[in-house]
Chains A and B, each alone.
Chain A
């Protein structure tokens, strides 16, 4: 074995000035982990406050700032960059047989944007905070808020460009740098998912950027855009915001779906059932996802007929998700299944995603949403998907590709324990919130009716298990760097180009240019597993 691994070079500068997609992926990993813990800290405060019906730990303003900080950090600085920027960066070039991304400099710059935007936002949030919620609804955010709205908006705006540039980079890479023979129908499903995600990133994020600029302009210069007293339209903001934010929820979940397709096939040692359906469903989600934003506005004052159409389209958008779930299950039929830790995370994903998706349909059901909107039912729904499922996907990816990224094996036992704890802790935390919501507990209340206490205590108890489960990998994965065994090239006996290069891969991934003459997920007995 000749070429040194991408981790060979030492020194801080070799990281901060690197143009290697794998190193940039690691930089992203460290960054989003930091933000995950920052957002988690705020969540802890929230859950402790909600143990009792009175507002005792935090003041009303303190609580409002805590959930705003939590939402802003988690959405824009953890969930959105998590899988696309970390695993997208690490895997896209290797999986398609390329040496690097199409624009390595832009890639590094994107990371600096995310870091800068994030620190800026965090600083603003800590210096005084914002109390608008992550949704920045007008005219509360423009005319009535007393926090650092503009500073936070700038932070999110900057990070938005990180998303846009990463999206462009991935799209161009997939189009232009595929190895000879790597046709679209031979691409791993992770690539299809990341590609669809990138399209959303590039098309939707600019809308958010413009909207936020308009909010800042109204806040600073009283330009009447959203505030009706200045001649604006308050619903316009919600339309623009959700035109971005509904597709954005798919930015958070599509990549995780791609990961799960990889984990299921690798665990089952079997080609995915219905490759074309799974592949095109990612694209379908990306497209239809742009047409359903109005389901967030059924009670906001939009016309009744608009609501009917948005409701129907929301039923349509769930079809491609259902296709995936059915095909994953069918893949396990006649498989040769190893129950390793990444697979348990994939199962956790499927379980939580199905519950989250089905409850999304309840909310798309007009008459049910008139009741459930803006209650804990909605909170539970989107946490099942964005936190339960998306984080399970992220953890699954982390456990699956960790040996490839670091060259070390970690304890399978701890990995499995974590996956089970995530599943149990998550359900205990968020299932009671469906009941709370249907009972009528509105969201964003720091003090609530004593009737709701029992379920809130359950939820907080679950949250402590969940917190433990989310922190555990930090220890055993980092520990593996020191004490873990060296990882072989292909610890899971998986198919895919990334398992035919050394762990960790050499600087330019492949010593010779690759030519692809095999299908994706080739688990036939004749399949080749030798180094490329």
Chain B
């Protein structure tokens, strides 16, 4: 037996977690207000009106419109107020700040892989700085998983072939348990990870100690050269990629899309999905050559390319 033997409330790892807890407590209070009277009334009536007990049973009502309306409308209004609070929190939880630190997550049966901007890679452990927003861009290589941080009160499903996003700001340094919450096959229960929150100084040290020779962008650049992307993209046979990130792209089918992470990824893995207008569909798919982590590095590289006058990347 240890001090964890009977823990009844999860640790609060972020301000957001504290707000969620208050929401839940407040809602519990309000529900008690609507439910306890029902239980009390039930017991009272059972006691008072059990057969054989003298009681006034005259003028039995069959229905009463004002009462019916009252117990429909009052609880509803009460719940609506709480709904609005919760919607605000939800909105906050779904809108990452622009300056968030970006980390790439790849899930597969049954492990979590993380890539930092500096090129650091880890498996089943995630180091992040305290008191700084962190944004995770996540994708799965097989089935649906879900990254769940109980101490932060958030989770998000991780889908195959589609980026999903999660952000948080952890307040206190420490180590926290992370789970896979979406059932994903045999070893679902073993698909665990640790979240290590470091004070900003310690985090810098950690980055340095674990730094690789090249950061994510230059790793991506290497891949760009290795896989001959330039043979088309720097030759005029294909759209120039400088400044492609966040560009509005006109498509062959007449539509338009903004070139975000998901678009860049799809262009590499599923080139047929969006065809840029004015070009032939000659781009090969790289889905068999590159795994999701390599694609993330390429995307990081493409995002880093500034728009140049000539349109050619270096």
Contacts and interface: CB of A to CB of B under 8 A. Distances in A.
A184 interface: no
Contacts of A440: 10, 148, 150-151, 177, 179
Contact of B27 (A271, A339, A368): A368
A347 interface: yes
Contacts of B49: 268, 332-337
A351 B55 CA distance: 25
Given A60-B190, A273-B63, A365-B86, A371 B180 contact: no
B38 A325 contact: yes
A329 to B, nearest CB: 5
A275 B86 CA distance: 35
Interface stretch (B156-164, B210-218, B233-241, B252-260): B156-164
Interface string A5-31: 000000000000000000000000000
Contacts of B76: 315, 319
B100 interface: no
A518 interface: no
B168 to A, nearest CB: 11
Contacts of A227: 160
A367 B156 contact: no
B63 A145 contact: no
Count chain A CB atoms within 10 A of each CB in B35, B154, B157 and give the residue with the most: B157
Interface stretch (B129-137, B181-189, B201-209): B181-189
B109 interface: yes
Contacts of B93: 367, 370
Interface string B62-82: 111001100110011001101
B62 A273 contact: yes
Given A366-B90, A370-B93, A234 B160 contact: yes
A304 B56 CA distance: 55
Contacts of A450: 4
Contacts of B58: 334
A315 B31 CA distance: 13
Contacts of A443: 183
B164 to A, nearest CB: 5
A337 B181 contact: no
A448 B177 CA distance: 12
A128 interface: no
A185 interface: no
B298 interface: no
A365 B72 contact: no
A445 to B, nearest CB: 4
B63 to A, nearest CB: 5
B237 to A, nearest CB: 26
Given A365-B23, A371-B155, A435-B8, A448 B189 contact: yes
B279 interface: no
A334 B4 CA distance: 50
Nearest to A444: B183
A365 B189 contact: no
Contacts of A60: 186-190
Interface string A318-362: 110011011101101111111100000001001100100010011
A334 B184 contact: no
A274 B143 contact: no
A199 interface: no
A140 interface: yes
A454 B6 contact: yes
A447 B185 CA distance: 14
A300 B187 contact: no
A213 interface: no
B136 to A, nearest CB: 13
Given A228-B162, A274-B63, A374-B148, A366 B143 contact: no
Given A300-B157, A447-B189, A449-B177, A137 B63 contact: no
A275 B155 CA distance: 44
Nearest to B110: A60
Contacts of A268: 49
Interface residues of B, number: 83
Count chain A CB atoms within 10 A of each CB in B60, B64, B72 and give the residue with the most: B60
Contact of B63 (A275, A299, A451, A453): A275
A335 B10 contact: no
A308 interface: yes
A329 B68 CA distance: 12
A312 B143 CA distance: 30
Contacts of A332: 41-42, 45-46, 49
A273 B68 CA distance: 10
Interface in A248-290: 268, 270-271, 273-277
Contacts of A308: 87, 90
A64 B184 CA distance: 10
Contact of A140 (B6, B10, B31, B184): B184
Contact of B41 (A131, A270, A329, A442): A329
A301 B184 CA distance: 16
A440 B177 CA distance: 9
Nearest to B179: A442
B269 to A, nearest CB: 10
B137 to A, nearest CB: 13
Interface in B138-176: 142-144, 146, 148, 150-151, 153-157, 159-162, 164
Closest 8 CB pairs of A and B: A440-B150, A228-B161, A366-B90, A332-B45, A367-B89, A445-B189, A371-B153, A374-B181
Interface of B: 4-10, 19-20, 23-24, 27, 31, 34-35, 38-39, 41-42, 45-46, 49-51, 55-64, 67-68, 71-72, 75-76, 79-80, 82-83, 86-87, 89-91, 93-94, 109, 142-144, 146, 148, 150-151, 153-157, 159-162, 164, 177, 179-190, 287
Given A299-B146, A368-B23, 10 more contacts: A315-B79, A322-B71, A332-B45, A334-B56, A365-B24, A365-B82, A371-B153, A439-B8, A448-B189, A449-B177
14 contacts: A140-B184, A235-B159, A270-B60, A323-B68, A323-B71, A333-B61, A339-B46, A367-B90, A367-B93, A367-B153, A370-B153, A373-B155, A443-B183, A451-B4
Interface of A: 55, 60-61, 64, 131, 133, 135, 137, 139-140, 143-145, 227-229, 234-235, 268, 270-271, 273-277, 299-301, 304, 307-308, 311-312, 315, 318-319, 322-323, 325-327, 329-330, 332-339, 347, 350-351, 354, 358, 361-362, 365-368, 370-371, 373-375, 435, 438-440, 442-451, 453-454
